[in-house]
Structures are given as structure tokens and as C-alpha cells.
Amino acid sequence: MPRFAANLSMMFNEHAFLDRFAAAAAAGFPAVEFLFPYDFPAETVAERAAAAGIEIALFNLPPGDWAKGERGLAALEGRSEEFRAGVATALRYAEALGVPRLHMMAGNADRRDAAAATRYRDALAHAADAAGAAGRDLVIEPINPRDMPGYFLNDFDYAAELIGELGRPNLKLQFDVYHRQVMRGDVLKGLEAMMPIIGHVQIASVPKRNEPGTGELDDFRIFGTLDALGYAGHVGCEYRPAGETVAGLGWLARAGRRD
């Protein structure tokens, strides 16, 4: 069975953010992930995770003004100073929280715009190098245009090409099964082909983005494939519980039973 990480931005929303670490641990998760820790001092988040005895698998670099619709700064014009400050902040949190990898969101920009593509590439090289010097991985994630219209990184092959071209060993792909299925399908072959560059996996049912096992894919077969491919990283459970979080965890018990 893969190492599941509860996504605290979507799951356990019955509790205040800082109480979600203990809730996830009590529900049997060995790890968590979330969008952003920046509303709280790093030390406070670290204390809550340590008290719960739970590992933090991943969080994102500061995204710009999320409430105003910004979804990362990397490809945006005139924001490189803010982007670089965000990389430093994220690495400070990663150190305090003992987090091995960070997700760099791209921002809303047109991938066919050569200037935006150059900005994105430069930002990626900078963030990967800074993360590498700090002993951390950096991951990038193609996101489907239905959920995030206008998002720059909306193609798996483009992401893989960039990772290859930049050639940083700590720069990897975040393979979100939900986005892959919405954009392209061919999930099992995609996992197989991209496994050498995959640094993090996320899962949710398609199309509702609820619990695994409730959508159009055989999510349990996907878990088996990840095991068969030797994937040793985390699988982030980035889904919106259809009801109460713990009541919907039957899929986790089933994944453990492998039936």
C-alpha cells in the first residue's frame, strides 16, 4: 500500500487548521500535506505536527494573492523579486518543519507566450537550485484547465520536457491522478512512463474530486500499480470528502486490505 498523506487543505475541515494534524494521525495517516503554512509561525506548525507524531510530506511555495485568484508567481511579469523572496520563505518553513519537498505553482499565464515561458523556466531553475542547496526537492504539477482556467502548466509532456532540459536531480514531477485523468487519461501508462521523474503523487476520484473509489477510475488498481512500479514516495489525498472526513475513510481500510 502506498504511503498516504492526508491533504489538510481539503480533508479534516471539521477542525481548525492546527488541529487537523492530530485528527489525521488519529485517523491512521502517517503523513500530511497542505497548500500553505504561512498564516502561522513555522515553529507553531512544527510543534503541532510533532505532537501528533505525523510527517509533513509537502506544501507549496507562496502563491501570490490567492484570494484575488493568483496561483503562483513563477511565470508572471514583474514579480520575480517577490517570487524569490517566497522561495526563501518556503525553504525556511521547510527547514523548521522537516519537509523534504516543495511544490512550485506556475501562475496564470499563456504557455504559448515566449516571454512567460522564459520567466517560468528561469524561476524554475532558481527555485530548484535554491531547494537543492537546502537539500530539498522541488516539484511541478500540471493542473487541468477546468479546475484552474488560465493556469500556465497544463500539460504533462511539457512538464516532463522542462524537467529533462533543466536536468536538476532534485527537480521532479507532481503527478496528480485527478488532473491527469481530466486532461488526458491513460493514467497507468503515464505513471509507468514518468515514474523516473515523479517526486510526488496525488489522488482523488474523477470527476467529483471526492474519496478514491467513488469515481470513474479503479483507484485501487492505481495504488497497486504504484506499488508494482516501486514508487516509494507519498500519495497525497487531495480530495474533498463527500461528507464528514472520517466517515469517508472506508477506502483507506480497503487499500490496506488490497481487496
Ligand X SMILES: O=C(O)C(=O)[C@H](O)CO
| Catalytic (active-site) positions | 141, 238
Q: What share of the chain is helix, strand, coil (3-state, %, to 5)?
A: 45, 15, 40
Residues 155-194 touching Mg ion, rule: CB under 5 A, are 176
Residue 103 binds: one of Mg ion, ligand X, none (C-beta under 5 to 8 A by kind): ligand X
Told to check if 202 binds Mg ion by CB under 5 A, we report: yes
In 3D, which of 78, 90, 152 has the Cα closest to residue 121? 152
Give least dist CB 23 to ligand X, A.
Answer: 20
Give least dist CB 117 to Mg ion, A.
Answer: 22
Identity of the residue, 46 or 73, whose beta carbon is nearer to Mg ion in the bound complex: 73
Give least dist CB 143 to Mg ion, A.
Answer: 7
Give least dist CB 99 to ligand X, A.
Answer: 14
* Footprint on this chain of ligand X (rule: CB under 6 A): 35, 60, 103, 141, 143, 176, 179, 202, 238
Residue nearest to Mg ion (CB): 176
Non-local CB neighbours of 195 within 8 Å, separated by 6+ positions:
229, 230, 231
Q: In terms of DSSP H, where are the helices of the chain? A: 20-26, 42-52, 80-97, 114-133, 156-166, 177-183, 187-194, 219-228, 250-257
Residue nearest to ligand X (CB): 176
Residue 35 binds: one of ligand X, Mg ion, none (C-beta under 5 to 8 A by kind): ligand X
| β pairing state of 31-33 and 3-7 | parallel
Q: Which amino acid is at 95?
A: E
CA–CA gap between residue 152 and residue 91 (Å, rounded): 23
